[in-house]
Amino acid sequence: MQDRFYALLKHRLQSEIQQNPPRFPWEQTAMDYRDEVALTPAFAVDLRSLWLAQLRRLSLPVAMPDNVLAQLLEQCQSLAASSLKEGAKLVKAVEALFPEEGVALNQLAGLVLVSPVRGGASLQQRLADEAGVSCQLAMMRPCRPSRWFCRFWRLGKFSVL
């Protein structure tokens, strides 16, 4: 009985909303609002200049030319919505600036991602927390890495990609 009542109530509310759509208090009649703002190329250029002005105000240890900042901004904006992992995004954002340094970029991205400054806790601590193992307990257990792990570790073949 209760399900029938809710179904009737829902149907009645839907029909009332279709006949008299809700309005803001300042509206006299129903207005049709667009879901998205149409971005014109001129507006997009204006947004870019706003972001570049903000980037110029950053206190960086070295001065960066505007063309480098613009290139980084463009790369970061295109990668922001991608489904790549964070490390891959970091590498792809700067790989055009350092075309022959893929291995070094991977290693630096790994250091940045593992850094305790990045998220308040190191990656190892977060992984241990997710696994439900305390760091002290993990350190007490004898652990022997596999030969594959040792070989790749010595060769520096680890990658964040």
From first to last of its 161 residues, the chain has per-residue pLDDT tens of 889 999 999 999 999 988 888 888 888 887 777 776 666 666 656 677 788 888 888 887 888 888 888 888 888 888 888 888 888 888 888 888 888 888 888 888 888 777 655 555 555 566 566 555 454 444 444 444 444 444 444 444 444 44
* pLDDT for the residue 38: 65
* pLDDT for the residue 132: 55
**Residues contacting 134, CB < 8 A, separation 6+:** 128
* pLDDT for the residue 15: 93
Q: What are phi and psi of 54, to 5 degrees?
A: -65, -40
pTM over 0.85: no
* Cα dist from 91 to 17, 98, 113, 161, whole Å: 51, 10, 12, 8
Distance CA 66, CA 77 (A): 16
Category of 109 on φ-ψ map: left (φ > 0), alpha (ψ -120 to 50) or beta: alpha
Please report, to the nearest 10 degrees, the dihedral formed by the alpha carbons of residues 113, 115, 117, 118 taken in order. Answer: 10
Report domain extents, the chain.
55-155
Distance CA 118, CA 95 (A): 21
* pLDDT for the residue 63: 83
Q: Are 97 and 68 in contact (CB under 8 A)?
A: yes
Q: Return the residue matching tokens 């940045």.
A: 112
* pLDDT for the residue 127: 56
